[in-house]
């Protein structure tokens, strides 16, 4: 997708929520949306520009998650990663090295969503996270 289209999407979403459109937000947004993998804030900073403060990158990634442009994932090792792929899918995470892979599998979340509603929650999205050892760590 061209920069102009990515910028227009983010600008519209930011303005609709009363947020300012800034150059760092545009830069992080473009970078993350072009990524094909799961990103940490540290990786975004390393790949983009050390001149962007970690606070700016974390705040921007949190805002992109709030706006629906990325999905935040918490891993069993405590690392937060951001997934540019926002459509429904699941993940498998290596508990030793932290490797994350997307899983394409149909999962009936209906019973879990009913239980969440009974507990007073409105579910935005659900995903299954499996953890174990990747082939490299298991071998």
* Cα angle value 71/63/33 (rounded, 5°): 55
Domain span at residue 103 reads 87-138
| The pLDDT of residue 23 | 92
Out of 50, 74, 98, a domain closes at: 74
Lowest mean pLDDT among 32-41, 46-55, 130-139: 46-55
> In 48-88, where do the E strands start and end?
71-74, 80-83
pTM for the whole thing? 0.83
50 pLDDT more than 80: no
How far out from the chain centre does Cα 38 lie?
A: 7
**Please, are residues 58 and 91 in contact by the beta-carbon 8 Å criterion?**
no
* CA–CA dist 82, 62 (Å, integer): 9
Q: How many domains does the chain have?
A: 2
Q: What is the pLDDT of residues 76-98, one digit of tens each?
A: 778 899 999 988 889 999 988 88
Which position has the token pair 């900073």?
A: 45
pLDDT band at 56 (very low <50, low <70, confident <90, very high): very high
Q: What separation in angstroms does the CA of 16 have from each of 24, 28, 124?
A: 18, 19, 19
Mean pLDDT of 26-34: 93
Out of 74, 101, 126, a domain closes at: 74
């Amino acid at each position: 997708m061209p920069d102009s289209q990515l910028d227009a999407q983010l600008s519209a979403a930011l303005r609709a929520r009363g947020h300012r459109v800034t150059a760092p937000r545009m830069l992080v947004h473009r970078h993350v949306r072009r990524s094909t993998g799961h990103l940490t804030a540290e990786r975004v900073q390393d790949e983009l520009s050390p001149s962007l403060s970690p606070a700016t990158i974390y705040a921007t990634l949190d805002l992109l998650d709030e706006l629906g442009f990325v999905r935040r994932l918490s891993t069993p090792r405590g690392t937060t990663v951001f997934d540019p792929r926002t459509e429904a899918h699941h993940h498998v995470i290596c508990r030793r090295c932290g490797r994350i892979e997307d899983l394409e599998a149909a999962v009936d979340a209906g019973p879990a969503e009913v239980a969440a509603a009974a507990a007073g929650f409105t579910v935005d999205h659900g995903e299954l996270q499996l953890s174990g050892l990747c082939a490299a760590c298991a071998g």
